[in-house]
Amino acid sequence: MITKRIIPCLDVRNGRVVKGVNFEGVQDVSDPVQLARHYSDEGADELVFYDITASFEGRKLFTDVLRAVAEQIFIPLTVGGGINTVEDFDRVLKCGADKVSVNSGAIRNPDLIPDAAVKYGSQCVVLSADVKRVDGQFHVFSQGGRIDTGMDALEWIRHSVELGAGEVVLNSIDTDGVKRGFDLEMLNAVTEIVDVPVIASGGAGCIQDFVTLFRQAPGVDAGLAASIFHFGEVSIRDLKQKLTENGINIRRI
Amino acid sequence: MIAIVDYGVGNLFSLQSSLHSLGLDAVVTADPKAIRNADRVILPGVGAFGDAIDKLRSSGLEEIVLEQAVSGKPLMGICLGMQLLFEKGYEFGEHDGLGLLRGSVVPMQGNIPDGLKIPQMGWNALIPKRAHPLLKNVKEGDCVYFVHSFYATGCEDSLVAATEYGKELTALVARDNVMGCQFHPEKSGPVGLSILKAFAEMRS
């Protein structure tokens, strides 16, 4: 059977990885290529790169980094951040990205998801949704989780999948940074209404959180995290070992 | 030299990079002469069957690829490129494939149990069906990366490995010098690279 995926996410600003402490065998943890190789060797099933620069020069550095990673690391690469047009898809796909995630760009431009899906295929288009509870309802937030769009998140996700998004990254603002586990309620609500892969993001604090995720939200395909991997709190090798011990089907290295 | 046939479908950057990382000479080309001069050929592909076979035909490269297969040169199709090797494809209608392998390509929809996501997207284990040089470094339980909504069927004579997704689906095929992977070896980590390396080492 298809395996559950573990996905580290790397924030890149001006060509360097933001955050990160020391890893054994990694001399420069802000070098995206070194860090990508480290994660890949440890058993990461996919890597997500978020471009958090806004300047033209930053974008150029980002695509240089992406190309360097894609030349050396042979697992699927997803790119997000600053994707507003089909030309942005083209720019990162040419540098070796396999999938492209859209967030605020898709909210601003309703044609972005369908246009990109027609041109590159749905498997290439990932909807990244930042979602938070407002008065007991799930709302979509934009601009890095700062602005409440007022849109119902379940409607937005269902609609985006109908338009051609082939995968959903669900980032719960409510659990993000809290490190007390993924937002199982929100995840289960989403996996019930879409039939594309759903990636859980926001809330991982320890290995047990991933075990709980795959047990209690069985429709979820992958767990994504950033800081617990970057700060060395959880190693992907240990995590996968624990998941195997708990009977969860993962790719072994 | 490995020629990666460029007929205008998909992004070939990773595939070429993966071959380079193995120290292999690889060129992305639409030039018949370069393809004829190569000692092995890869037929890549993403997208829809009909659109891809039309592009291969209208570019005149179908003939060149068939000529290479007949010459006995190792030829590997990847993903949709593998699907094109078969006789027929049933994606948005019925289309003739290259007919190098017996079998046809059919949708998962309606042919695998309900409740499974389509496309199959992610890492799944290879289930070897017979010994083959491409599998020489592949161990039981090794996973490779799949992204597909269609699969090859009726190809028992060429089947080398399957994968389990509601039922066993064709993952790796080979008959003489013609081979194909449904998965993406260039995105399948060390296991995928070992398969590409084995392809490069096959006698041409």
Q: What is the pLDDT of residues A192-241, one digit of tens each?
A: 999 999 999 999 999 999 999 999 999 999 999 998 998 889 999 999 99
Q: Where are the domains of chain A?
A: 5-245
Alpha-carbon torsion A79, A209, A249, B134, what sign?
positive
Nearest to B186 among A72, A74, A252 (CB): A74
Of the candidates B195, B102, B108, the one whose C-alpha atom is nearest the C-alpha of residue B147 is B108
Of the candidates B195, B199, B182, B197, the one whose C-alpha atom is nearest the C-alpha of residue B78 is B182
Measure in Å the smallest separation between the Cα of A248 and chain B Cα atoms: 13
Torsion, Cα of B131, A1, B110, B11 (10° steps): -70
* Tokens found for residue A8: 């580290």
Q: What are phi and psi of B135, to 5 degrees?
A: -100, 10
> Which pLDDT value is given to residue B204?
75
Mean per-residue pLDDT, B60-65:
97
Measure in Å the smallest separation between the Cα of B114 and chain A Cα atoms: 11
- Cis omega (within 30 of 0) for bond into A32: no
Torsion, Cα of A120, A164, A124, B181 (10° steps): -90
> Which pLDDT value is given to residue A20?
61
B21:A72 CB<8 A? yes
A75:B145 CB<8 A? yes
pLDDT band at A29 (very low <50, low <70, confident <90, very high): confident
B123:A74 CB<8 A? no
Q: How far apart are CA A164 and CA B35, in angstroms?
A: 36
Type of residue numbered B54: D
Examine the pLDDT at B12 and tell me if it is beyond 80.
Answer: yes
Type of residue numbered B130: R
* Tokens found for residue B26: 């690889």
3.40.190.10, 3.20.20.70, 3.40.50.1980, 3.40.50.1100: CATH of A5-245: 3.20.20.70
Please provide the DSSP assignment of B96-151 as one string.
Answer: E---SSS-EEEESTTTS-TTS-SSEEEEEE-EE-S--GGGTTPPTT-EEEEEESEE
Q: What is the pLDDT of residues A94-123, one digit of tens each?
A: 999 999 999 999 999 999 999 999 888 899
Q: By CA distance, what is B14's nearest residue in A?
A: A96
Q: What is the CATH number of the domain that holds B139?
A: 3.40.50.880
Host domain of residue B186: 2-201
Measure in Å the smallest separation between the Cα of B33 and chain A Cα atoms: 26
B119:A166 CB<8 A? yes
Q: How many helices (H) and strands (E) does chain A have?
A: 10, 11
Mean per-residue pLDDT, A141-150:
93
Beta bridge partners of A131: A140, A172
pLDDT band at A174 (very low <50, low <70, confident <90, very high): very high
B123:A70 CB<8 A? no
User: Does pTM surpass 0.90?
Assistant: yes
What is the share, in percent, of chain A residues with pLDDT greater than 70? Answer: 98
Nearest to B121 among A1, A93, A123 (CB): A123
User: Under a CB-based contact definition with an 8 Å cutoff, are residues B12 and B28 in contact?
Assistant: yes
Of the candidates B54, B87, B62, the one whose C-alpha atom is nearest the C-alpha of residue B175 is B87
Question: Where do the DSSP E strands lie in chain A?
Answer: 5-13, 16-17, 47-51, 77-80, 99-102, 125-134, 137-142, 147-152, 167-172, 198-201, 222-225
